[in-house]
Structure 1
Amino acid sequence: MLSSILTLLALGCLTGVTTVVFGFGGGFVTVPVVYAFTLARAEPGVDAMAVAVATSTAVMVVNSVSATWAQYRSGRLRRVHLWPLALYIGLGSAAGALVATAAGGSVQYALFVVYLVVTIADSLLRKGFLTRSPGAAPGPPRPGTTRVVGLGIGAVTGFLGVGGSVMTVPLLRRRGLPMGEATAMANPLTVPVALAGTLVYALWGTGGAGADQGHLGSVDLVAGALLLAGSLPTIALVRRYAGRIPDRAHAVSYVVLLTVVLAVFLLLP
Protein backbone atom coordinates (compact mmCIF):
# COMPACT_ATOMS: atom_id res chain seq x y z
CA MET A 1 0.00 0.00 0.00
CA LEU A 2 2.86 2.37 0.86
CA SER A 3 4.43 1.77 -2.55
CA SER A 4 1.12 2.65 -4.25
CA ILE A 5 0.89 5.88 -2.26
CA LEU A 6 4.45 6.88 -3.14
CA THR A 7 3.84 5.99 -6.79
CA LEU A 8 0.74 8.18 -6.95
CA LEU A 9 2.59 11.08 -5.30
CA ALA A 10 5.50 10.75 -7.73
CA LEU A 11 3.23 10.53 -10.74
CA GLY A 12 1.27 13.46 -9.38
CA CYS A 13 4.51 15.43 -9.71
CA LEU A 14 4.78 14.27 -13.32
CA THR A 15 1.19 15.37 -13.84
CA GLY A 16 2.12 18.84 -12.62
CA VAL A 17 4.95 19.02 -15.15
CA THR A 18 2.75 17.94 -18.07
CA THR A 19 0.00 20.35 -17.00
CA VAL A 20 2.26 23.38 -17.28
CA VAL A 21 4.55 22.30 -20.13
CA PHE A 22 2.00 20.55 -22.37
CA GLY A 23 -1.37 21.79 -21.11
CA PHE A 24 -2.54 18.24 -20.42
CA GLY A 25 -4.15 18.95 -17.05
CA GLY A 26 -3.08 15.44 -16.15
CA GLY A 27 -5.40 13.29 -18.21
CA PHE A 28 -2.90 11.35 -20.27
CA VAL A 29 -0.83 10.59 -17.19
CA THR A 30 -3.58 10.05 -14.62
CA VAL A 31 -5.84 7.78 -16.69
CA PRO A 32 -3.32 4.91 -17.03
CA VAL A 33 -2.01 5.53 -13.49
CA VAL A 34 -5.42 5.38 -11.80
CA TYR A 35 -6.42 2.48 -14.05
CA ALA A 36 -3.43 0.44 -12.82
CA PHE A 37 -3.99 1.58 -9.21
CA THR A 38 -7.65 0.51 -9.33
CA LEU A 39 -6.80 -2.87 -10.84
CA ALA A 40 -4.23 -3.45 -8.08
CA ARG A 41 -6.82 -2.79 -5.36
CA ALA A 42 -9.14 -5.39 -6.94
CA GLU A 43 -12.30 -3.95 -5.38
CA PRO A 44 -15.44 -5.94 -6.28
CA GLY A 45 -17.90 -4.26 -8.58
CA VAL A 46 -15.47 -1.52 -9.65
CA ASP A 47 -15.00 -0.64 -13.32
CA ALA A 48 -11.30 0.30 -13.40
CA MET A 49 -11.40 2.29 -16.63
CA ALA A 50 -14.54 4.21 -15.64
CA VAL A 51 -12.92 5.13 -12.31
CA ALA A 52 -9.69 6.14 -14.05
CA VAL A 53 -11.46 8.48 -16.47
CA ALA A 54 -13.64 10.01 -13.75
CA THR A 55 -10.75 10.51 -11.31
CA SER A 56 -8.57 11.99 -14.04
CA THR A 57 -11.32 14.49 -14.82
CA ALA A 58 -11.63 15.51 -11.17
CA VAL A 59 -7.87 15.98 -10.81
CA MET A 60 -7.89 18.15 -13.94
CA VAL A 61 -10.32 20.60 -12.33
CA VAL A 62 -7.74 21.62 -9.74
CA ASN A 63 -4.67 21.29 -11.96
CA SER A 64 -6.08 23.26 -14.87
CA VAL A 65 -7.41 26.08 -12.68
CA SER A 66 -4.04 26.36 -10.91
CA ALA A 67 -2.11 26.36 -14.19
CA THR A 68 -4.56 28.81 -15.80
CA TRP A 69 -3.95 31.32 -13.03
CA ALA A 70 -0.19 30.92 -13.47
CA GLN A 71 -0.44 31.37 -17.25
CA TYR A 72 -2.70 34.40 -16.83
CA ARG A 73 -0.18 36.06 -14.54
CA SER A 74 2.55 35.42 -17.09
CA GLY A 75 0.49 37.15 -19.83
CA ARG A 76 0.42 34.14 -22.17
CA LEU A 77 -3.36 33.89 -22.68
CA ARG A 78 -5.22 35.37 -25.68
CA ARG A 79 -8.92 35.92 -25.22
CA VAL A 80 -9.71 35.69 -28.95
CA HIS A 81 -8.59 32.04 -28.95
CA LEU A 82 -10.39 31.16 -25.71
CA TRP A 83 -13.90 32.55 -26.01
CA PRO A 84 -16.46 31.39 -27.09
CA LEU A 85 -14.56 28.13 -27.78
CA ALA A 86 -14.47 27.36 -24.04
CA LEU A 87 -18.27 27.58 -23.77
CA TYR A 88 -18.86 25.03 -26.54
CA ILE A 89 -16.16 22.74 -25.18
CA GLY A 90 -17.92 22.74 -21.80
CA LEU A 91 -21.28 21.86 -23.35
CA GLY A 92 -19.77 19.10 -25.45
CA SER A 93 -17.91 17.71 -22.44
CA ALA A 94 -21.08 17.31 -20.39
CA ALA A 95 -22.69 15.39 -23.24
CA GLY A 96 -19.59 13.21 -23.73
CA ALA A 97 -19.37 12.38 -20.02
CA LEU A 98 -23.05 11.40 -19.90
CA VAL A 99 -22.57 9.04 -22.85
CA ALA A 100 -19.47 7.59 -21.15
CA THR A 101 -21.41 6.65 -18.00
CA ALA A 102 -23.66 4.49 -20.18
CA ALA A 103 -20.94 3.13 -22.49
CA GLY A 104 -18.75 1.57 -19.79
CA GLY A 105 -15.01 1.22 -19.29
CA SER A 106 -14.23 -1.27 -22.05
CA VAL A 107 -15.48 1.12 -24.73
CA GLN A 108 -13.54 3.99 -23.13
CA TYR A 109 -10.38 1.87 -23.07
CA ALA A 110 -10.58 1.04 -26.78
CA LEU A 111 -11.39 4.60 -27.83
CA PHE A 112 -8.65 5.99 -25.58
CA VAL A 113 -6.07 3.94 -27.49
CA VAL A 114 -7.54 4.91 -30.86
CA TYR A 115 -7.57 8.56 -29.84
CA LEU A 116 -3.88 8.47 -28.95
CA VAL A 117 -2.90 6.71 -32.19
CA VAL A 118 -4.84 9.18 -34.35
CA THR A 119 -3.43 12.21 -32.49
CA ILE A 120 0.17 11.03 -32.77
CA ALA A 121 -0.23 10.20 -36.48
CA ASP A 122 -1.89 13.55 -37.18
CA SER A 123 0.90 15.48 -35.43
CA LEU A 124 3.59 13.63 -37.36
CA LEU A 125 2.01 13.49 -40.82
CA ARG A 126 0.18 16.79 -41.18
CA LYS A 127 2.15 19.98 -41.69
CA GLY A 128 2.06 22.80 -39.19
CA PHE A 129 2.60 21.03 -35.87
CA LEU A 130 6.22 19.92 -35.49
CA THR A 131 7.57 22.94 -37.33
CA ARG A 132 5.99 26.36 -37.31
CA SER A 133 6.19 28.22 -40.62
CA PRO A 134 8.83 30.97 -40.53
CA GLY A 135 7.22 34.35 -39.94
CA ALA A 136 3.77 32.81 -39.49
CA ALA A 137 1.36 35.23 -37.86
CA PRO A 138 -1.30 33.77 -35.55
CA GLY A 139 -4.66 33.72 -37.26
CA PRO A 140 -7.97 34.26 -35.42
CA PRO A 141 -10.52 31.44 -35.22
CA ARG A 142 -13.24 31.28 -37.85
CA PRO A 143 -16.57 32.19 -36.21
CA GLY A 144 -18.49 29.65 -38.27
CA THR A 145 -16.37 26.72 -37.12
CA THR A 146 -15.93 27.59 -33.44
CA ARG A 147 -19.23 26.03 -32.36
CA VAL A 148 -18.71 22.74 -34.20
CA VAL A 149 -15.06 22.43 -33.21
CA GLY A 150 -15.76 23.27 -29.57
CA LEU A 151 -18.63 20.81 -29.23
CA GLY A 152 -16.56 18.09 -30.91
CA ILE A 153 -13.52 18.66 -28.70
CA GLY A 154 -15.69 18.71 -25.58
CA ALA A 155 -17.57 15.53 -26.48
CA VAL A 156 -14.43 13.50 -27.19
CA THR A 157 -12.42 14.73 -24.22
CA GLY A 158 -15.34 14.53 -21.81
CA PHE A 159 -15.91 10.92 -22.85
CA LEU A 160 -12.24 10.01 -22.36
CA GLY A 161 -11.42 12.19 -19.34
CA VAL A 162 -8.29 13.69 -20.92
CA GLY A 163 -8.97 17.42 -21.02
CA GLY A 164 -8.94 19.36 -24.25
CA SER A 165 -5.22 19.79 -24.70
CA VAL A 166 -4.53 17.04 -27.21
CA MET A 167 -7.11 18.54 -29.53
CA THR A 168 -6.74 22.23 -28.71
CA VAL A 169 -2.93 22.34 -28.85
CA PRO A 170 -2.73 21.06 -32.46
CA LEU A 171 -5.67 23.34 -33.35
CA LEU A 172 -4.00 26.44 -31.93
CA ARG A 173 -0.62 25.38 -33.28
CA ARG A 174 -1.98 25.26 -36.83
CA ARG A 175 -3.47 28.71 -36.35
CA GLY A 176 0.12 29.93 -36.13
CA LEU A 177 0.68 30.07 -32.38
CA PRO A 178 4.05 29.05 -30.91
CA MET A 179 3.99 25.92 -28.73
CA GLY A 180 4.46 27.94 -25.55
CA GLU A 181 1.24 29.88 -26.13
CA ALA A 182 -0.71 26.93 -27.55
CA THR A 183 0.01 24.79 -24.48
CA ALA A 184 -0.61 27.72 -22.13
CA MET A 185 -4.11 28.22 -23.54
CA ALA A 186 -4.87 24.52 -23.33
CA ASN A 187 -5.17 24.97 -19.55
CA PRO A 188 -8.17 27.37 -19.51
CA LEU A 189 -9.77 25.34 -22.31
CA THR A 190 -9.45 22.25 -20.09
CA VAL A 191 -11.33 23.88 -17.19
CA PRO A 192 -14.85 23.57 -18.73
CA VAL A 193 -14.11 19.96 -19.76
CA ALA A 194 -13.01 19.07 -16.25
CA LEU A 195 -15.85 20.86 -14.46
CA ALA A 196 -18.63 19.45 -16.64
CA GLY A 197 -17.18 15.95 -16.67
CA THR A 198 -16.54 15.80 -12.93
CA LEU A 199 -20.08 16.87 -12.15
CA VAL A 200 -21.50 14.12 -14.36
CA TYR A 201 -19.14 11.39 -13.09
CA ALA A 202 -19.64 12.33 -9.44
CA LEU A 203 -23.43 12.46 -9.63
CA TRP A 204 -24.23 9.73 -12.16
CA GLY A 205 -21.11 7.63 -12.46
CA THR A 206 -21.57 3.97 -11.52
CA GLY A 207 -18.00 2.70 -11.87
CA GLY A 208 -16.98 3.25 -8.23
CA ALA A 209 -17.55 1.15 -5.12
CA GLY A 210 -19.40 3.80 -3.10
CA ALA A 211 -18.66 6.50 -0.54
CA ASP A 212 -17.76 3.96 2.16
CA GLN A 213 -14.77 2.90 0.03
CA GLY A 214 -13.62 6.37 -0.91
CA HIS A 215 -15.57 6.89 -4.13
CA LEU A 216 -17.92 9.69 -5.12
CA GLY A 217 -19.80 8.28 -8.06
CA SER A 218 -16.99 6.98 -10.26
CA VAL A 219 -14.38 9.34 -8.76
CA ASP A 220 -11.71 7.74 -6.55
CA LEU A 221 -11.19 10.42 -3.90
CA VAL A 222 -8.11 8.77 -2.38
CA ALA A 223 -6.19 8.45 -5.65
CA GLY A 224 -7.25 11.94 -6.70
CA ALA A 225 -6.04 13.50 -3.44
CA LEU A 226 -2.66 11.77 -3.66
CA LEU A 227 -2.14 12.88 -7.26
CA LEU A 228 -2.99 16.48 -6.37
CA ALA A 229 -0.62 16.39 -3.40
CA GLY A 230 2.17 15.78 -5.91
CA SER A 231 0.95 17.96 -8.79
CA LEU A 232 0.11 21.28 -7.12
CA PRO A 233 3.57 22.04 -5.66
CA THR A 234 5.11 20.96 -8.98
CA ILE A 235 2.88 23.34 -10.97
CA ALA A 236 3.99 26.22 -8.75
CA LEU A 237 7.64 25.36 -9.41
CA VAL A 238 7.61 24.45 -13.10
CA ARG A 239 5.58 27.47 -14.25
CA ARG A 240 8.68 29.63 -13.78
CA TYR A 241 10.58 27.75 -16.47
CA ALA A 242 7.91 26.65 -18.98
CA GLY A 243 8.46 29.53 -21.41
CA ARG A 244 12.16 28.75 -21.94
CA ILE A 245 11.73 25.59 -24.05
CA PRO A 246 12.67 26.03 -27.75
CA ASP A 247 9.62 25.78 -30.00
CA ARG A 248 10.75 22.80 -32.09
CA ALA A 249 11.92 20.83 -29.04
CA HIS A 250 8.62 21.62 -27.31
CA ALA A 251 6.58 20.23 -30.22
CA VAL A 252 8.70 17.09 -30.59
CA SER A 253 8.61 16.33 -26.86
CA TYR A 254 4.82 16.69 -26.94
CA VAL A 255 4.54 13.88 -29.50
CA VAL A 256 7.16 11.77 -27.69
CA LEU A 257 5.21 11.98 -24.43
CA LEU A 258 1.99 10.89 -26.16
CA THR A 259 3.86 7.93 -27.65
CA VAL A 260 5.18 6.90 -24.23
CA VAL A 261 1.69 7.12 -22.73
CA LEU A 262 0.31 4.95 -25.54
CA ALA A 263 3.02 2.33 -25.01
CA VAL A 264 2.44 2.23 -21.25
CA PHE A 265 -1.30 1.95 -21.69
CA LEU A 266 -0.99 -0.94 -24.15
CA LEU A 267 1.22 -2.80 -21.68
CA LEU A 268 -1.36 -2.58 -18.90
CA PRO A 269 -3.55 -5.69 -18.40
Structure 2
Amino acid sequence: MLVSFLVLLGFGCLTGVTTVLFGFGGGFIIVPVVFGVVAATTGADAMHTAVATSTAVMIVNATTATFAQARSGRLRKAHLHPLIEFIALGAVLGAVAATWAPDSALHLLFIAYLAITIVDSALRRGFLDNAREGAGEPLGKVASTAGGVGIGAVASFLGVGGSVLTVPLLRRRGLPMADAAAMANPLSIPVAVAGTAVYALATPTTPYPGQLGHVNVLVGAALLCGSLPTIAVTKRVVGKIPDRVHAIAYLALLVLVLVAMVVTALV
Protein backbone atom coordinates (compact mmCIF):
# COMPACT_ATOMS: atom_id res chain seq x y z
CA MET A 1 0.00 0.00 0.00
CA LEU A 2 2.88 2.36 0.83
CA VAL A 3 4.47 1.63 -2.55
CA SER A 4 1.21 2.47 -4.33
CA PHE A 5 0.94 5.75 -2.38
CA LEU A 6 4.51 6.77 -3.24
CA VAL A 7 3.95 5.93 -6.91
CA LEU A 8 0.76 8.02 -6.96
CA LEU A 9 2.48 10.87 -5.09
CA GLY A 10 5.36 10.90 -7.58
CA PHE A 11 3.10 10.90 -10.60
CA GLY A 12 0.94 13.51 -8.91
CA CYS A 13 4.01 15.78 -8.88
CA LEU A 14 4.51 15.11 -12.59
CA THR A 15 0.86 15.92 -13.19
CA GLY A 16 1.30 19.31 -11.55
CA VAL A 17 4.11 20.11 -13.99
CA THR A 18 2.15 18.97 -17.05
CA THR A 19 -0.95 20.87 -15.92
CA VAL A 20 0.89 24.19 -16.05
CA LEU A 21 3.24 23.58 -18.99
CA PHE A 22 0.97 21.57 -21.30
CA GLY A 23 -2.60 22.06 -20.07
CA PHE A 24 -2.85 18.37 -19.05
CA GLY A 25 -5.00 18.61 -15.93
CA GLY A 26 -4.27 14.97 -15.31
CA GLY A 27 -5.71 12.68 -17.94
CA PHE A 28 -2.69 11.55 -19.92
CA ILE A 29 -0.60 10.98 -16.81
CA ILE A 30 -3.27 9.87 -14.35
CA VAL A 31 -5.22 7.43 -16.52
CA PRO A 32 -2.29 5.04 -17.22
CA VAL A 33 -1.02 5.26 -13.61
CA VAL A 34 -4.39 4.71 -11.93
CA PHE A 35 -5.17 1.93 -14.40
CA GLY A 36 -1.94 0.19 -13.41
CA VAL A 37 -2.47 0.63 -9.67
CA VAL A 38 -6.10 -0.53 -9.73
CA ALA A 39 -5.36 -3.44 -12.07
CA ALA A 40 -2.60 -4.58 -9.70
CA THR A 41 -4.79 -4.33 -6.59
CA THR A 42 -8.56 -4.69 -6.93
CA GLY A 43 -8.51 -5.30 -10.68
CA ALA A 44 -12.19 -4.46 -11.14
CA ASP A 45 -13.32 -1.75 -13.60
CA ALA A 46 -9.72 -0.56 -13.81
CA MET A 47 -10.17 1.64 -16.87
CA HIS A 48 -13.48 3.12 -15.71
CA THR A 49 -11.93 3.90 -12.33
CA ALA A 50 -8.88 5.45 -13.99
CA VAL A 51 -10.96 7.71 -16.24
CA ALA A 52 -13.33 8.72 -13.42
CA THR A 53 -10.54 9.47 -10.94
CA SER A 54 -8.72 11.44 -13.62
CA THR A 55 -11.70 13.75 -14.15
CA ALA A 56 -12.07 14.31 -10.40
CA VAL A 57 -8.40 15.25 -9.95
CA MET A 58 -8.64 17.41 -13.04
CA ILE A 59 -11.25 19.66 -11.42
CA VAL A 60 -8.79 20.68 -8.72
CA ASN A 61 -5.68 20.83 -10.91
CA ALA A 62 -7.28 22.75 -13.79
CA THR A 63 -9.01 25.22 -11.47
CA THR A 64 -5.83 25.90 -9.51
CA ALA A 65 -3.81 26.41 -12.71
CA THR A 66 -6.54 28.61 -14.21
CA PHE A 67 -6.38 31.07 -11.32
CA ALA A 68 -2.58 31.16 -11.52
CA GLN A 69 -2.57 31.76 -15.28
CA ALA A 70 -5.35 34.34 -15.12
CA ARG A 71 -3.10 36.47 -12.93
CA SER A 72 -0.36 36.19 -15.56
CA GLY A 73 -2.68 37.52 -18.28
CA ARG A 74 -2.41 34.45 -20.54
CA LEU A 75 -6.15 33.72 -20.74
CA ARG A 76 -7.99 35.22 -23.73
CA LYS A 77 -11.74 35.73 -23.41
CA ALA A 78 -12.24 35.74 -27.17
CA HIS A 79 -11.06 32.12 -27.32
CA LEU A 80 -12.90 30.95 -24.20
CA HIS A 81 -16.42 31.90 -25.25
CA PRO A 82 -18.55 30.32 -26.61
CA LEU A 83 -16.18 27.34 -26.93
CA ILE A 84 -16.29 26.54 -23.22
CA GLU A 85 -20.11 26.29 -23.16
CA PHE A 86 -20.23 23.80 -26.04
CA ILE A 87 -17.38 21.77 -24.53
CA ALA A 88 -19.51 21.47 -21.37
CA LEU A 89 -22.44 20.14 -23.42
CA GLY A 90 -20.26 17.57 -25.16
CA ALA A 91 -18.70 16.55 -21.86
CA VAL A 92 -22.04 15.41 -20.46
CA LEU A 93 -22.74 13.33 -23.58
CA GLY A 94 -19.28 11.76 -23.53
CA ALA A 95 -19.37 10.86 -19.84
CA VAL A 96 -22.77 9.17 -20.13
CA ALA A 97 -21.56 7.16 -23.13
CA ALA A 98 -18.40 6.09 -21.28
CA THR A 99 -20.36 4.52 -18.42
CA TRP A 100 -21.91 2.11 -20.95
CA ALA A 101 -18.68 1.31 -22.82
CA PRO A 102 -16.74 -1.92 -22.04
CA ASP A 103 -13.53 -1.41 -20.05
CA SER A 104 -11.38 -2.93 -22.81
CA ALA A 105 -12.94 -0.66 -25.42
CA LEU A 106 -12.04 2.45 -23.40
CA HIS A 107 -8.44 1.29 -23.19
CA LEU A 108 -8.10 0.69 -26.93
CA LEU A 109 -9.85 3.95 -27.83
CA PHE A 110 -7.51 5.83 -25.50
CA ILE A 111 -4.51 4.36 -27.35
CA ALA A 112 -6.00 5.16 -30.77
CA TYR A 113 -6.80 8.71 -29.68
CA LEU A 114 -3.21 9.29 -28.57
CA ALA A 115 -1.71 7.84 -31.75
CA ILE A 116 -3.89 9.95 -34.06
CA THR A 117 -3.12 13.13 -32.11
CA ILE A 118 0.64 12.55 -32.22
CA VAL A 119 0.70 11.85 -35.96
CA ASP A 120 -1.58 14.79 -36.76
CA SER A 121 0.40 17.28 -34.67
CA ALA A 122 3.76 16.09 -36.02
CA LEU A 123 2.84 16.00 -39.71
CA ARG A 124 0.23 18.72 -40.21
CA ARG A 125 1.48 22.29 -40.41
CA GLY A 126 0.71 24.77 -37.67
CA PHE A 127 1.75 22.96 -34.51
CA LEU A 128 5.52 22.54 -34.54
CA ASP A 129 6.19 25.30 -37.07
CA ASN A 130 3.93 28.00 -35.61
CA ALA A 131 5.88 31.24 -35.94
CA ARG A 132 3.00 33.69 -35.56
CA GLU A 133 3.45 34.14 -31.84
CA GLY A 134 0.73 36.26 -30.31
CA ALA A 135 -1.42 36.37 -33.47
CA GLY A 136 -4.32 34.45 -31.95
CA GLU A 137 -6.94 34.41 -34.71
CA PRO A 138 -10.51 34.13 -33.27
CA LEU A 139 -12.28 30.78 -33.59
CA GLY A 140 -15.02 30.51 -36.20
CA LYS A 141 -18.61 29.48 -35.40
CA VAL A 142 -18.12 25.88 -36.51
CA ALA A 143 -14.96 25.44 -34.43
CA SER A 144 -16.65 26.95 -31.37
CA THR A 145 -19.95 25.06 -31.61
CA ALA A 146 -19.62 21.69 -33.33
CA GLY A 147 -15.93 21.56 -32.51
CA GLY A 148 -16.61 22.37 -28.87
CA VAL A 149 -19.21 19.61 -28.53
CA GLY A 150 -16.83 17.13 -30.17
CA ILE A 151 -13.93 18.12 -27.94
CA GLY A 152 -16.06 17.83 -24.81
CA ALA A 153 -17.51 14.46 -25.79
CA VAL A 154 -14.17 12.83 -26.67
CA ALA A 155 -12.35 14.34 -23.69
CA SER A 156 -14.98 13.29 -21.16
CA PHE A 157 -15.37 9.83 -22.71
CA LEU A 158 -11.64 9.17 -22.31
CA GLY A 159 -11.00 11.26 -19.17
CA VAL A 160 -8.30 13.43 -20.76
CA GLY A 161 -9.65 16.94 -20.23
CA GLY A 162 -9.53 18.04 -23.85
CA SER A 163 -6.09 19.68 -23.81
CA VAL A 164 -4.87 17.34 -26.52
CA LEU A 165 -7.56 18.79 -28.79
CA THR A 166 -7.70 22.40 -27.62
CA VAL A 167 -3.93 22.98 -27.56
CA PRO A 168 -3.40 21.99 -31.24
CA LEU A 169 -6.56 23.91 -32.21
CA LEU A 170 -5.42 27.13 -30.53
CA ARG A 171 -1.86 26.56 -31.67
CA ARG A 172 -2.97 26.59 -35.29
CA ARG A 173 -4.81 29.83 -34.62
CA GLY A 174 -1.47 31.47 -33.93
CA LEU A 175 -1.18 31.26 -30.15
CA PRO A 176 2.24 30.52 -28.65
CA MET A 177 2.52 27.24 -26.73
CA ALA A 178 2.52 28.97 -23.33
CA ASP A 179 -0.83 30.65 -24.07
CA ALA A 180 -2.39 27.62 -25.78
CA ALA A 181 -1.49 25.43 -22.78
CA ALA A 182 -2.81 28.04 -20.35
CA MET A 183 -6.14 28.20 -22.21
CA ALA A 184 -6.48 24.41 -22.02
CA ASN A 185 -6.99 24.54 -18.25
CA PRO A 186 -10.22 26.59 -18.06
CA LEU A 187 -11.50 24.71 -21.12
CA SER A 188 -10.90 21.43 -19.23
CA ILE A 189 -12.94 22.43 -16.17
CA PRO A 190 -16.43 21.77 -17.67
CA VAL A 191 -15.19 18.40 -18.95
CA ALA A 192 -13.91 17.51 -15.50
CA VAL A 193 -17.04 18.65 -13.66
CA ALA A 194 -19.49 16.94 -16.03
CA GLY A 195 -17.46 13.75 -16.18
CA THR A 196 -16.98 13.51 -12.42
CA ALA A 197 -20.69 14.05 -11.73
CA VAL A 198 -21.71 11.25 -14.09
CA TYR A 199 -19.01 8.82 -12.94
CA ALA A 200 -19.66 9.50 -9.25
CA LEU A 201 -23.34 8.60 -9.70
CA ALA A 202 -22.58 5.43 -11.67
CA THR A 203 -22.67 1.98 -10.08
CA PRO A 204 -19.38 0.05 -10.40
CA THR A 205 -19.37 -3.68 -11.03
CA THR A 206 -17.69 -4.30 -7.68
CA PRO A 207 -17.84 -1.41 -5.17
CA TYR A 208 -14.78 -0.90 -2.93
CA PRO A 209 -14.19 1.24 0.19
CA GLY A 210 -12.92 4.70 -0.66
CA GLN A 211 -14.82 4.88 -3.93
CA LEU A 212 -17.65 7.21 -4.93
CA GLY A 213 -19.21 5.52 -7.92
CA HIS A 214 -16.26 4.92 -10.23
CA VAL A 215 -14.17 7.68 -8.59
CA ASN A 216 -11.47 6.38 -6.24
CA VAL A 217 -11.30 9.16 -3.64
CA LEU A 218 -8.21 7.80 -1.87
CA VAL A 219 -6.21 7.53 -5.09
CA GLY A 220 -7.31 11.02 -6.10
CA ALA A 221 -6.21 12.46 -2.75
CA ALA A 222 -2.75 10.88 -3.09
CA LEU A 223 -2.34 12.36 -6.56
CA LEU A 224 -3.39 15.83 -5.39
CA CYS A 225 -0.83 15.71 -2.56
CA GLY A 226 1.80 15.69 -5.28
CA SER A 227 0.21 17.91 -7.95
CA LEU A 228 -0.85 21.00 -5.98
CA PRO A 229 2.60 21.95 -4.63
CA THR A 230 4.23 21.45 -8.05
CA ILE A 231 1.61 23.64 -9.77
CA ALA A 232 2.63 26.48 -7.45
CA VAL A 233 6.30 26.00 -8.32
CA THR A 234 5.99 25.32 -12.07
CA LYS A 235 3.89 28.42 -12.83
CA ARG A 236 7.09 30.48 -12.34
CA VAL A 237 8.75 29.02 -15.45
CA VAL A 238 5.83 29.46 -17.88
CA GLY A 239 6.85 31.59 -20.85
CA LYS A 240 10.58 31.04 -20.31
CA ILE A 241 10.76 27.92 -22.50
CA PRO A 242 11.46 28.51 -26.26
CA ASP A 243 8.22 28.04 -28.22
CA ARG A 244 9.39 25.23 -30.53
CA VAL A 245 11.05 23.37 -27.66
CA HIS A 246 7.78 23.66 -25.74
CA ALA A 247 5.83 22.19 -28.69
CA ILE A 248 8.28 19.30 -29.17
CA ALA A 249 8.16 18.50 -25.44
CA TYR A 250 4.35 18.37 -25.66
CA LEU A 251 4.50 15.70 -28.38
CA ALA A 252 7.29 13.80 -26.62
CA LEU A 253 5.13 13.50 -23.51
CA LEU A 254 2.24 12.14 -25.58
CA VAL A 255 4.56 9.51 -27.07
CA LEU A 256 5.66 8.38 -23.60
CA VAL A 257 2.06 8.04 -22.46
CA LEU A 258 1.18 6.12 -25.63
CA VAL A 259 4.00 3.65 -24.97
CA ALA A 260 2.81 3.22 -21.36
CA MET A 261 -0.75 2.49 -22.46
CA VAL A 262 0.33 0.01 -25.14
CA VAL A 263 2.49 -1.83 -22.59
CA THR A 264 -0.36 -2.07 -20.08
CA ALA A 265 -2.64 -3.36 -22.84
CA LEU A 266 -0.20 -6.17 -23.65
CA VAL A 267 0.52 -7.24 -20.06
Please give the residue correspondences for 1:5-154 in structure 2 after superposition, counting only pairs within 5 Å.
5-43=5-43, 46-134=44-132, 137-154=135-152
User: How far, CA to CA, are the matches of 1:84 and 1:261 in structure 2?
Assistant: 31
2:235 pairs with 1:239: yes
**What's the offset of the Cα at 1:206?**
2.3
Aligned AA (1:256): A
C-alpha spacing 1:33/1:176, structure 2 compared with 1 (3 Å):
same
The answer to whether the Cα contact below 8 Å between 2:134 and 2:176 also exists between their aligned partners in 1 is: no
**What's the offset of the Cα at 1:209?**
1.8
The answer to whether the Cα contact below 8 Å between 1:207 and 1:218 also exists between their aligned partners in 2 is: no
Aligned AA (1:257): L
RMSD: 1.2
User: How far, CA to CA, are the matches of 2:8 and 2:112 in structure 1?
Assistant: 26
User: How far, CA to CA, are the matches of 1:135 and 1:192 in structure 2?
Assistant: 27
Aligned equivalent of 1:176: 174
The answer to whether the Cα contact below 8 Å between 1:129 and 1:251 also exists between their aligned partners in 2 is: yes
User: How far, CA to CA, are the matches of 2:86 and 2:31 in structure 1?
Assistant: 24
- Structure 1 SS opposite 2:246: helix
C-alpha spacing 1:227/1:136, structure 2 compared with 1 (3 Å):
closer
The answer to whether the Cα contact below 8 Å between 1:38 and 1:48 also exists between their aligned partners in 2 is: yes
Deviates more, 1:140-149 or 1:22-31: 140-149
The answer to whether the Cα contact below 8 Å between 1:13 and 1:227 also exists between their aligned partners in 2 is: yes
1:105-149 Cα distance to aligned partner (Å, 9 max, x none): 111101000000000000011000001135772211112431100
C-alpha spacing 1:207/1:100, structure 2 compared with 1 (3 Å):
farther
Aligned equivalent of 1:221: 217
User: How far, CA to CA, are the matches of 2:71 and 2:133 in structure 1?
Assistant: 27
1:1-57 Cα distance to aligned partner (Å, 9 max, x none): 1111111001000000000000010100000000001011135xx210000000001
Query: What is the TM-score normalised by the length of structure 2?
Result: 0.97
The answer to whether the Cα contact below 8 Å between 2:22 and 2:250 also exists between their aligned partners in 1 is: yes
User: How far, CA to CA, are the matches of 2:198 and 2:115 in structure 1?
Assistant: 27
User: How far, CA to CA, are the matches of 1:178 and 1:208 in structure 2?
Assistant: 45
- Structure 2 SS opposite 1:177: coil
Aligned AA (2:31): V
The answer to whether the Cα contact below 8 Å between 1:34 and 1:52 also exists between their aligned partners in 2 is: yes
The answer to whether the Cα contact below 8 Å between 1:55 and 1:220 also exists between their aligned partners in 2 is: yes
Equivalent of 2:192 in 184, 191, 194:
194
User: How far, CA to CA, are the matches of 1:12 and 1:208 in structure 2?
Assistant: 26
Q: Which runs of 5+ in 2 are unaligned?
A: none
The answer to whether the Cα contact below 8 Å between 1:128 and 1:173 also exists between their aligned partners in 2 is: yes
User: How far, CA to CA, are the matches of 1:180 and 1:207 in structure 2?
Assistant: 41
C-alpha spacing 1:40/1:131, structure 2 compared with 1 (3 Å):
same
